[in-house]
Structure 1
């Protein structure tokens, strides 16, 4: 069989698991977007429990992770080759461990590979801290500018991360067979870089919940405003201040109304997260810059439920 590569754009939500499992079962090699872990193979073999592995790693989405690793254990028993490839995060974890051991930034900077990651992380962390400080007392335009500065730093991080991972994946690809590659939806540059390197090869892409998204929006995927802004910077699209301002403004509202806790699918709602995201995106897309300015001051110190209620009421009154 010739080499067939499928890049799966997904996110760590329980609702994605049926589609992920279906595609992984059709694959010979599964490449996960994870830094290598020495305990991973032991977990796959059942030598340590999934619960112990989760505790060791402290995953952000435990309900998804437990179910996902249970599927991986089954696939491993079937003889699937499962790889963890995420060199940027691998280097970042190594840096964290160095600091835990009492090493200093100077020690990190002696290693060229670690130095590059450390510099990018330092820049992004500073931009994020600056944003938090600016968001407390500054006017809305200044907050928006801080969002753009962070998005540019984040874009630099994503671009470098995607290049590193693509290069590592290229070295691990089998000569033939079906390959499943996991990637977060924002990692579009990873796909671009990989496709450029693997000319004339059979590469396809899938968004795990694209059927649901397409039925509602007519598009394969719907990116939140903050992701759209970051992707513009990743690709170095020509500057458009008005567009970047409105994306930043909407991102500030979006992040306060989106559900961040894990939701478990039910018979009535099989995809709670993606439906919530679509509604949130559609809601903020009805706001102009001045709307976001007004709403931001009203909701920035409220909880998600109250913020969502205020935004819905505002949009309803605006459109009535």
Structure 2
């Protein structure tokens, strides 16, 4: 009777050790990546990892480098490793077709690519609408970020449908004693539901949130996920599971994204979870903001750098910053957010 483990991860270096512990305990590892023609060469050492990271245009290159170094060892030890992400695989094909001169109407007629093309077209359009409103009133920004989150929720739902179908096909073809680890971003909760509903008889499924596995759960209640991911999840699940109104979620997400660290941070013994520490601090901060406070703060920080925006936020709301610092678990405190 095989195990099916879904590891929900933010794809940050600080959570990679927890992810690798689970990977080592399974026969088959399924990565959340579209298949790349040189993946097997990279795993076997025939292709340089740095070259592969550049070729694959990894979204988190530092994370990818460390992951691939570890996967090489697992591969050499007999682990089977697959890239399974059908939605992104189709999106790569669409980009290649457009680069080769294909017209949009051709892609819209392709039964395999048409829906992905339409979803990406809509989602990217909503994102451009949002960026085009940087000088608009705050209420307009709220409206546009909600429109993007709705489109993003539709994209996530279809991604999870396609990936679940592909993984379930794999499971049905495997020997029943095979233990399978599935890597997934932590917002892909629909994937978990679909895998649990469709898994072959006898396959046990367990879900591991790698944030909680790596860092422990005390102090995280109410601070996970971020306001933006919470807004997307609000639409993903029909708005039935949140007590916070969607306009307030949207307003807080606009402030939060301007305050958190954008670059990949490398953990150290003195600061083992730099992203988690930074994100929990600012989640605690924005959770205390009303809609009107978000509007007031937005007017001050909208066009500022992250560093300047943080300085302004803490000068305007010093008590909220002090409370946010106390909210972060003691074992995560140390360097300033």
Return the TM-score normalized by structure 1. Answer: 0.94
Residues 144 and 85 (structure 1 numbering): CA distance in 2 closer, same or farther, change over 3 Å? same
What's the CA shift string for 1:225-275, capped at 9, x where partnerless?
A: 110110111112349897100000000000000101011111111111111
Q: CA deviation at 1:110?
A: 2.1
User: 1 CA distance for matches of 2:75 and 2:240?
Assistant: 46
What's the CA shift string for 1:186-215, capped at 9, x where partnerless?
A: 111111111111276411111112042512
Match of 2:332 in 1: none
Match of 2:68 in 1: 69
Q: CA deviation at 1:33?
A: 0.3
User: 2 CA distance for matches of 1:17 and 1:239?
Assistant: 30
Residues 200 and 234 (structure 1 numbering): CA distance in 2 closer, same or farther, change over 3 Å? farther
Which deviates more from structure 2 when the two are superposed, residues 207-216 or residues 178-187?
207-216
Paired residues of 2:196 and 2:205 also in contact (CA < 8 A) = yes
Residues 201 and 300 (structure 1 numbering): CA distance in 2 closer, same or farther, change over 3 Å? same
Which deviates more from structure 2 when the two are superposed, residues 294-303 or residues 8-17?
8-17
Paired residues of 1:283 and 1:315 also in contact (CA < 8 A) = no
Structure 1 residues 1-320: aligned runs within 5 Å: 2-136=1-135, 138-173=136-171, 174=174, 175-198=176-199, 201-211=203-213, 212=215, 214-218=217-221, 222-238=224-240, 243-317=245-319
Residues 129 and 213 (structure 1 numbering): CA distance in 2 closer, same or farther, change over 3 Å? farther
Match of 2:327 in 1: none
Paired residues of 2:288 and 2:320 also in contact (CA < 8 A) = no
Paired residues of 1:213 and 1:222 also in contact (CA < 8 A) = no
In structure 2, the residue corresponding to 1:227 is in which secondary structure? helix
Residues 215 and 240 (structure 1 numbering): CA distance in 2 closer, same or farther, change over 3 Å? closer
Paired residues of 1:286 and 1:315 also in contact (CA < 8 A) = no
Paired residues of 1:32 and 1:181 also in contact (CA < 8 A) = yes
Structure 2, unpaired ranges of 5+? 323-337
Q: CA deviation at 1:310?
A: 1.6
Q: CA deviation at 1:277?
A: 1.1
Return the TM-score normalized by structure 2. Answer: 0.90
Residues 130 and 47 (structure 1 numbering): CA distance in 2 closer, same or farther, change over 3 Å? same
Q: CA deviation at 1:107?
A: 1.6
Paired residues of 2:231 and 2:249 also in contact (CA < 8 A) = yes
Paired residues of 2:8 and 2:183 also in contact (CA < 8 A) = yes
Q: CA deviation at 1:286?
A: 0.8
Aligned pair count?
317
User: 2 CA distance for matches of 1:235 and 1:151?
Assistant: 12
Residues 286 and 46 (structure 1 numbering): CA distance in 2 closer, same or farther, change over 3 Å? same
In structure 2, the residue corresponding to 1:9 is in which secondary structure? strand
User: 1 CA distance for matches of 2:314 and 2:227?
Assistant: 17
